[in-house]
A and B are shown apart, each in its own frame.
Chain A
Amino acid sequence: MTALSSRPDICVAACADAWRGDGAILASPTGLIPRLGALLARRTFAPDLLLTDGEATLLDEDEHPEGWLPYRAVFGLVAAGARHVMMGASQIDRHGNQNISCIGDWKRPTAQLLCVRGAPGNTVNHPTSYWIPRHSPRSLVPRVDMVSGVGYDRAATAGARFHEIRVVVTNLAVLDFATPDHTMRLRSVHPGVPLAEVVAATGFPLAVPDDVPTTREPTGEELRLLREHLDPEGLREKEVR
């Protein structure tokens, strides 16, 4: 890793890249790193993105109110497909099935988590990405306990014609599903992360290209925006190791 950008900086930029080319749609990041990514994308290469304050107000790039988006209107955007969400994932499998609901047997879970929330609707209606802050065999699993977000195998069977999982960003790597059978593929490893570490931290066989690129470093302008405007207190440093 260079002295210029830290691992959290690289993760933020990788999250930002998820929204590249999305135009005037609602970006819905969950958690600090994805939110910084969406804000960074809007301040640089995706100026048309819409973002809320986390409640019902749309905020423009200067954090000034520019519109109203109560929950019922969010469901409208979901159904219309005018949204790209980046959710967390307590578990994800090689087809992109994701679980935020509970761990263990659903009838009597060992750990009740969030329930499915909007994951089923998000994943069959519009682009979905994931952020996983601790890439490990506990989170990248052969089989998720409760399919909250729909993966490619399930989407194909269900005929979900608007399904797309854009990218999975972890603390170690960027992953996607650009394989013939839409199984998870290593797109890039973050600077300084050995390929073997990513493979060992993944609880299923990962499609690994012959030549694995290194995740891009943030540009100087992106670093300046992050440090001076978006996260001057460096909260992102506490989120990723």
Chain B
Amino acid sequence: MDRVMTIDEVAGELRDGMTVGIGGWGSRRKPMALVRAICRARLRDLTVVSYGGPDVGLLIAAGCVRRVVTGFVSLDSIPLEPHFRRARSEGTVELTEYDEGMLYWGLLAAANRLPFLPIRAGLGSDVMRVNPELRTVVSPYPDREKLVAMPALPLDAAIIHLNRADRRGNGRYLGPDPYFDDLFCLAARRRFLSCERLVGTGELVAAGPPQTLLTNRAMVDGVVETPHGAHFTSCVPDYGRDEQFQRVYATSEWTDFRARYLDGDEADYQRAVAA
């Protein structure tokens, strides 16, 4: 079945208040074209689950976010995300702060339809203090070890960006790291994949070893072709991070940045970037 959509159709499938997982990592292979579409659609009160980068920053600046669930928000080459940082100091965004491995485990629990998974990370740290709903679990075996019962992080929707996909949702990453994009899809009810280039299934399969075919048809509900759709994050080997543009993003007044890059559509954005 053909699952090809436009970015605006994907944004149209989302609702205010949803919990949305975003693939990638920091400022690496983020589904930025879909994030920009969500900003334009003026969605509100989202809970965003992400290894956070400019996806989180943009959505916060656009007023779409009520809560961030994360282990960090960073632009990698710029360690601190300016919009996230400001929102935290101004108290305008809520935060669920986990260890990075706990976030992984929460997605894994959701993907496996388990209520929780035991993990050592978090024990003794203030993650337990700032998340008072977290519970521990004691091993039923003779070791009796106490561990954190990391709750499942089920998602209403997931958005990810890969290098290549076919029209049915088979997808491939070509860079060095899959990040956790497959897990975001497995943890979500509705799954949307953007890609640099839509190709035939034969070409997709021929493009590399089977291990890098990250998504299959059971994991994806909608596919969008968004060339340069991870910009300004990295999407190697198709392109690296646009460091110069990222600096512009990090240092611009939000209203100036929005007017220059986000008030039009995605094609306008890509034209403005190229200009």
Contact = CB atoms under 8 A, between A and B. Distances in A.
B70 A120 contact: no
Interface residues of B, number: 40
Contact of B79 (A68, A70, A114, A116): A114
B163 interface: no
A116 B98 contact: yes
Contacts of A78: 101, 121
Interface stretch (A36-44, A143-151, A173-181): A143-151
Interface in B68-118: 70-74, 79-80, 84-85, 88-91, 95, 97-102, 104
A78 B99 CA distance: 12
B17 interface: no
B75 to A, nearest CB: 11
A70 B125 contact: no
A71 B175 CA distance: 13
A121 B177 contact: no
Given A108-B91, A112-B89, A120 B122 contact: yes
A211 B121 CA distance: 38
A115 B124 contact: no
B121 A71 contact: no
Contact of B88 (A102, A124, A155): A102
B89 A110 contact: yes
Interface in A87-135: 101-102, 106-121, 123-125
Interface string A17-34: 000000000000000000
A120 B85 contact: no
B199 interface: no
B10 to A, nearest CB: 25
A116 B177 contact: no
A70 B177 contact: yes
B126 interface: yes
Contacts of A75: 100-101, 104
Contacts of B101: 75, 78-79, 118, 121
A125 B120 contact: yes
A160 B124 contact: yes
B179 interface: yes
Contacts, number: 130
A89 to B, nearest CB: 14
A224 interface: no
Contact of B121 (A107, A114, A125): A125
Contacts of B100: 75, 117-118, 121
Given A56-B176, A159-B145, A148 B125 contact: yes
A154 B72 contact: no
Nearest to B183: A72
B78 to A, nearest CB: 12
Contacts of B90: 108
B127 interface: yes
A183 interface: no
Given A114-B72, A120-B99, A147 B177 contact: no
Contact of A72 (B122, B146, B178): B178
B126 A106 contact: yes
Contacts of A56: 176-177
B249 interface: no
A106 B131 CA distance: 11
A158 interface: yes
Given A55-B176, A121-B102, A79 B120 contact: yes
B261 interface: no
Contact of A116 (B89, B125, B179): B125
B63 to A, nearest CB: 18
Contacts of A157: 124
B124 A112 contact: no
18 contacts: A57-B176, A70-B176, A70-B178, A71-B25, A71-B180, A112-B88, A117-B72, A119-B125, A120-B125, A124-B121, A124-B123, A124-B124, A146-B130, A149-B125, A154-B124, A157-B124, A159-B145, A160-B124
Interface of A: 55-57, 68, 70-72, 75, 78-79, 101-102, 106-121, 123-125, 146-150, 154-155, 157-163
Given A110-B89, A117-B100, A146-B130, 10 more contacts: A55-B177, A72-B180, A108-B91, A111-B85, A114-B80, A115-B73, A116-B97, A116-B99, A116-B125, A163-B124
Interface of B: 25, 70-74, 79-80, 84-85, 88-91, 95, 97-102, 104, 119-127, 129-130, 145-146, 176-180
